[in-house]
Amino acid sequence: MRFIAMVIVLGLATAARADSFAGDGLYRPPIEWSTWVRGSYGFERAPADVAARTIGPPLIETRGRWELALGVEGSLALSRHGDARLGAWAELRGLSVDDAFAGGELVLTRVPKRVDMFLYEGHGILALRAGRSTTATTASIAYGYLAPYWLEGPCKQRFYGIETGVCAPRPERTARYMAGVRVVATVTRGIEDPRAWSATLGLEFEPVATLRMLFALRSWY
């Protein structure tokens, strides 16, 4: 608990010292959070469906595995411009309690500095995650594109191209919602039976921003 409290204080203090516009014209609050939908495919080693006829540990077989998950994450700035971040995440991979995972993550952003997707200019993101459920441990690495859900400039206007002639300064905030899409590789291993494991590769994406981009929903921008 002391470590978590120190990280929070450090993140807020670091962001307070940061420039109002972190290198690319986008205001960077200390807290960034997002949700995602993940679809992956891979392989797993799991107990065979057919009960073993011999006495001893259950038989383990290899088979293909589809994985659909819903997740949420939040991170705090550790560096001056918020490029290095430390956060927490949670992910639901099924309908049972054993399918709920949670853990911590280390995030590096602006790798590279500029990436243009979703009709937004954002930047690259690399996330390293580790966590567990009640029955398994898991680790993943994700790389892709990240941008704020709303483009923000120094004035209270949604897009940079709109010239009003008047600039009302945008108030500083402590958090903002992020959008993006990432390629993610995930490895999961059973706690009680380490022989049981899975490895998947797939995509995770923020759903609302993806829908507004695919269907060109102007009212959502």
What DSSP designation does 134 have? S
Pair of tokens at residue 178: 């992020």
Domain with 35 in it: 2-220
CA distances from 125 to 17, 65, 90, 165, 169 (A): 22, 27, 18, 35, 28
Domain count for the chain: 1
Residue count of the chain, please give it: 221
Pair of tokens at residue 71: 């997740």
Looking at residue 16, its pLDDT comes to 37
pLDDT in tens for each of the 221 residues of the chain?
454 444 343 344 444 333 333 334 445 788 999 999 999 999 999 887 655 455 656 778 889 999 999 999 999 999 888 899 999 999 999 888 889 999 999 999 999 888 877 667 788 999 999 999 999 999 999 999 998 887 665 566 555 455 556 666 667 778 889 999 999 999 999 999 888 999 999 999 999 888 887 776 666 65
What whole-number distance in Å separates Cα of residue 202 and Cα of residue 128? 15
Instruction: List Cβ<8 Å contacts ≥24 apart for 164-168.
Output: none
Report CA torsion sign: 16, 18, 20, 24.
Answer: negative
The backbone torsions φ and ψ at residue 196, rounded to the nearest 5 degrees and listed phi first, read: -85, 120
> Look-up: residue for tokens 């014209």?
25
Asked if 75 and 33 count as a contact pair (C-beta separation under 8 A), the reply is yes
Please choose, from the candidates 132, 138, 109, 142, the residue with its C-alpha nearest in 3D space to the C-alpha of residue 26.
Answer: 109
Q: What is the amino acid identity at position 4?
A: I
Looking at residue 221, its pLDDT comes to 58
Secondary structure (DSSP) of 68-116: EEEEEEEEEE-STTS-EEEEEEEEE-SSSGGGEEEEEEEEEE-SSS-EE
Looking at residue 31, its pLDDT comes to 93
Pair of tokens at residue 168: 């009302």
Torsion of CA 26, 28, 32, 37, to 10 degrees: 20
What whole-number distance in Å separates Cα of residue 25 and Cα of residue 148? 12
